[in-house]
Amino acid sequence: MLIIPAIDLKDGHCVRLKQGVMEDATVFSENPGEMAAHWLNQGARRLHLVDLNGAFAGKPRNEAAIREIVDALGDQIPIQLGGGIRDLDTIERYLDDGITYIIIGTAAIKIPGFLQDACNAFPGQIMVGLDAKEGKVAVDGWSKITGHDVIDLAKKFESYGVEAVIYTDIGRDGMLNGINITATVELARQLTIPVIASGGITNINDIHKLCEIESEGIMGAITGRAIYEGSLDFKEAQVLADKLSKDNGIS
C-alpha cells in the first residue's frame, strides 16, 4: 500500500485545513519545492497536491508553486493533482508541466460530460475525487453537500474509465480522529478500480487498519496533518505498509 503525503497549497504556501475551512489554515512551509523534496527523501513513492485556492475559485491559483514541486521532483515519482480543474486545456497544461495524474472533483458532478471527455482525451491519467459526508457527495471545496450517493456516482464514473477513486470522509479530514474504515471498504467493494483513502489518518494504528483491508481494493492512503504535526512518522508508516503488504501476499 502506498502512503501518500499531501501538500495542500494556499497562496503559494503548504498548509493544512480542518474540515476544508479556508480560514482555519495552518501553514507548514513557505517553500513547496523543499517540502516535496523532503517527502521524496523520506521514501514517498507518490505525492498528492491540492490547489486549495483553485478548488474554491474554480480555476488554477497556485501554478507557480506546483511548477516548483515538479521541478524539485523531476520524474522521480508520480504526482497527482486536484483543485480548480474545470476544462481539458487546464488538464493538458498540467500534464505537459509534468503532473502524472489529474484529479477531477466538483467538475465531475457539475459539468455534464466533462469527466468522460477527460477520460477519453487522457486515458490512464484521470482520477476522480469523491468527498463525502454521511454517504453524500460534497462539492465546491466541501462547502455544499449534494443529494448524490457516493457509491452510485463512483460506479458511474468507473464506467467512464477513471484510473482510481480518491475517497475523502470530510467529517474526519484534518481532525486526526481516525479514518472511516467502514465507508472506505463499502465503497471499494462496489468497484473494480482502486480506491485511495483520505481523511482522518492519525497514527500508526490507522496504517495497520488500512493494510488489513488493502485486499478489498485500497491501493493507498493520503496523509497530511498527521505527518506534519508528528503524530505519524511517514517513513515508519511506509516501511510498515510494505511489510504488511508482503506478509499479506499483496506485494
For residue 149, indicate whether it is catalytic: no
Distance (Å, whole) CA 131 – CA 145: 9
Cβ proximity of 111 and 84 under 8 Å: no
Which three-class secondary structure state does DSSP give residue 202? coil
Q: Among residues 246, 248, 175, which one has the least CA distance to residue 206?
A: 175
For residue 11, indicate whether it is catalytic: no
Q: Which three cell numbers stand for residue 42?
A: 523520506
Given the residues 11, 97, 131, 206, the one annotated as active site: 131
What is the amino acid identity at position 131?
A: D
Given the residues 8, 51, 169, 242, the one annotated as active site: 8
E-strand spans in the chain?
2-10, 13-17, 25-29, 47-51, 79-82, 101-104, 126-133, 136-139, 144-149, 165-169, 195-198, 218-223
Q: Give the residue numbers annotated as catalytic, written as ranges.
A: 8, 131
